[in-house]
């Protein structure tokens, strides 16, 4: 046997050993990795981590600001609507007010939970706006469309048809502010991509735009002395 032939046989033999070893290692690795994976799925720490990972949707500072600011915005609408039964509101205005209360109470809970899940400060549902630090001094900032203290007192003092008129006028202002907040959110780079924020903001835009159109008709009818049910 020549030296060349001997070298060829040796190389072939070594290659076969390497292939066999790799195959055995691969099979062993597949078998080893499969077993812990099944066990991990029932491990409490694994489940907790999976839940935490599921919350890591992309969100921005604009998303946090929107959800935080809308809590106070909704809270004021609920206070305004809560006056309808005690201030002589018409049946149509009371129906609208009830709808606003039912929808926005649930939405406040959703917004607060969204912030809590992301370890963000959770504002109280305050009708006077959101507390913010400005130049080292804590101040309450009104979100777009929110009524001033003077406007709230004016609405609270009204009764009957005058309450209806002011309620519709101010709630249109209020809703327009909410719609503008949605516009600002979606106009912010990277914002509104989180599933919950996107759905909530989209619902606010559609629902409140629809209610604005409805309230404008109600206000026009009220001016003409026509009852709108």
- Taking only the tens place, the pLDDT of each residue in 158-203 is 999 999 999 999 999 999 999 999 999 999 999 999 999 999 999 9
**pLDDT (mean) for 64-86:** 97
Tokens of 110: 């959703």
Burial 157-179 (b: 16+ CB within 10 A, else e): ebeeeebbbbbbbbbbebbebbb
Q: What's the pLDDT at 52?
A: 61
**pLDDT (mean) for 13-27:** 42
Which 8-state DSSP code applies to residue 188?
Answer: S
pLDDT in tens, 93-103: 999 999 999 99
Query: Distance (Å, rounded) from C-alpha 213 to C-alpha 206?
Result: 11
117 φ, ψ (degrees, to nearest 5): -65, -25
**pLDDT (mean) for 104-126:** 95
> Residue 144, exposed/middle/buried by CB under 10 A (0-12, 13-18, 19+)?
middle
**pLDDT (mean) for 142-158:** 97
Among residues 104, 84, 87, the alpha carbon closest in space to that of 95 is found at 84
pLDDT at 18 over 60: no
Which residues have CB under 8 Å from 115's CB, separation 6+?
64, 67, 68, 121, 122, 123
- Residue at token pair 């004016």: 154
Report domain extents, the chain. Answer: 3-50, 58-223
Bridge partners, residue 141, by sequence: 130
Split at pLDDT 50, 70, 90, the class of 23 is very low
Range ranked top by mean pLDDT from 38-42, 47-51, 175-179 = 175-179
pLDDT at 72 over 80: yes
Q: Select the more confidently predicted residue: 31 or 110.
A: 110
Average pLDDT of the residues of the chain: 81
Lowest mean pLDDT among 68-77, 97-106, 218-227: 218-227
- Whether this model's pTM surpasses 0.85: no
Query: Distance (Å, rounded) from C-alpha 37 to C-alpha 90?
Result: 63
Q: Select the more confidently predicted residue: 40 or 220.
A: 220
Split at pLDDT 50, 70, 90, the class of 32 is very low
First to last CA, the chain: 107
Residue 63: count other Cβ atoms within 10 Å of its Cβ: 26
Q: What's the pLDDT at 189?
A: 94
Tokens of 176: 């327009």
What's the CATH code, domain 58-223? 1.20.1260.10
* Whether the Cβ atoms of residue 178 and residue 204 lie closer than 8 Å to each other: yes
């Amino acid at each position: 046997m020549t030296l060349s032939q001997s070298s060829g046989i040796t190389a072939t033999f070594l290659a076969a050993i390497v292939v066999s070893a790799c195959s055995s290692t691969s099979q062993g690795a597949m078998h080893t990795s499969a077993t812990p994976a099944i066990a991990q799925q029932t491990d409490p720490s694994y489940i907790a981590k999976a839940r935490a990972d599921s919350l890591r949707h992309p969100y921005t500072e604009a998303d946090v600001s929107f959800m935080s600011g809308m809590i106070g915005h909704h809270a004021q609408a609920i206070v305004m609507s809560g006056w309808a039964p005690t201030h002589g509101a018409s049946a149509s205005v009371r129906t609208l007010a009830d709808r606003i209360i039912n929808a926005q109470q649930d939405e406040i809970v959703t917004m607060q939970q969204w912030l809590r899940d992301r370890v963000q400060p959770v504002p109280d549902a305050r009708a006077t706006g959101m507390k913010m630090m400005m130049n080292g001094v804590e101040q309450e900032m009104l979100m777009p469309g929110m009524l001033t203290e003077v406007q709230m007192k004016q609405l609270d003092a009204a009764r009957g048809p005058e309450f209806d008129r002011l309620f519709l006028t101010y709630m249109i202002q209020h809703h327009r502010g909410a719609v503008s907040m949605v516009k600002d959110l979606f106009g912010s780079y990277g914002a509104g991509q989180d599933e919950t924020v996107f759905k909530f903001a989209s619902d606010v835009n559609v629902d409140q735009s629809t209610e604005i159109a409805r309230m404008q008709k109600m206000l026009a009818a009220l001016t003409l002395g026509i009852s709108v049910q």
